[in-house]
Amino acid sequence: MSLSVIDNVKKIRKEIPETVSLICVSKTKPNELIMEAYEAGEREFGENKAQDLRDKYEELPKDIKWHFIGHLQRNKIKYIVGKIHLLHSLDGVKLLQELEKRYEKEGLELNALIQINVGEEESKTGIHKNEVNDFIQEVEKCSHIKVKGIMAIIPKGDEEQCRNYFREMKEMFDDLKKVNYKNISMEILSMGMSGDYKIAIEEGSNMIRVGTGVFGNREYK
């Protein structure tokens, strides 16, 4: 067993408060590496392809909590129903409605985060700031989708720019928390990845998504 994954996990755990959840982003990673993080005590892993998540769900220990962190296509929902602990990327009304339909049919509930396109980048999916209230009204019509917070992948930039985006997200999170919505409880603010999770935590994140920091550089098939 290579020490690197265990060392990486220990290092991150020392750096983050106990109140912050660590999601080990295992996309593109083989099961052996995931099991090294598992042996180091990690139980929450993130995938961005529905079929990969389904396969790993079937092959790896059942106490793993799987997070879906990529853009979810509506025709791929069938692969993840009943298999994920949290969907990080609720990013549109059509996806919301299709998820509600599928989960209602199975008699299940889905915990999800609304993905906010905080930089309003054309290359990224997510809800723009001025669309959040309308989107929340759609969530309130559902009974099988439970929103637990918000998530963002911020634009690339220097530390000051990162902080500004993270602060904007924290302000939105705090504002939403003050309102009593149906099916929505603001518990999770998911922001920060390998390169910026320390800044994200300083600005209020309580869930970080770390891939390279845990597993080393990505391997693409």
Domains delineated in the chain: 3-9+23-215 (3.20.20.10)
Q: Give the span between the Cα atoms of 38 and 34, in whole angstroms.
A: 6
Q: Does residue 66 contact residue 31 with C-beta atoms inside 8 Å?
A: no
Question: What's the pTM value of the predicted model, to 2 decimals?
Answer: 0.94
Q: Give the span between the Cα atoms of 12 and 136, in whole angstroms.
A: 34
Alpha-helical (H) ranges within 2-108 are: 3-15, 31-39, 50-59, 93-106
Q: Does residue 152 contact residue 116 with C-beta atoms inside 8 Å?
A: yes
**Strand partners of residue 112:** 87, 147
Nearest to 165 by CA among 150, 177, 178, 179: 150
- CB atoms under 10 Å from CB of 161, counted, come to 13
Q: Give the span between the Cα atoms of 21 and 23, in whole angstroms.
A: 6
Q: Does residue 111 contact residue 75 with C-beta atoms inside 8 Å?
A: no
Helix axes 132-140, 93-106, angle to 10 degrees: 20
pLDDT in the model for residue 202: 97
pLDDT in the model for residue 1: 46
Pairing status of strand 145-151 against strand 44-47: unpaired
Nearest to 60 by CA among 110, 87, 111, 26: 26
The 10s digit of each residue's pLDDT in 177-187 is 999 999 999 99
Those residues whose C-beta lies under 8 Å from the C-beta of residue 110, and which sit 6 or more positions away, are 84, 87, 99, 103, 144, 145, 146
Look up residue 173 and give its amino acid: F
- 195: pLDDT strictly greater than 80: yes
The 10s digit of each residue's pLDDT in 154-174 is 889 899 999 999 999 999 999
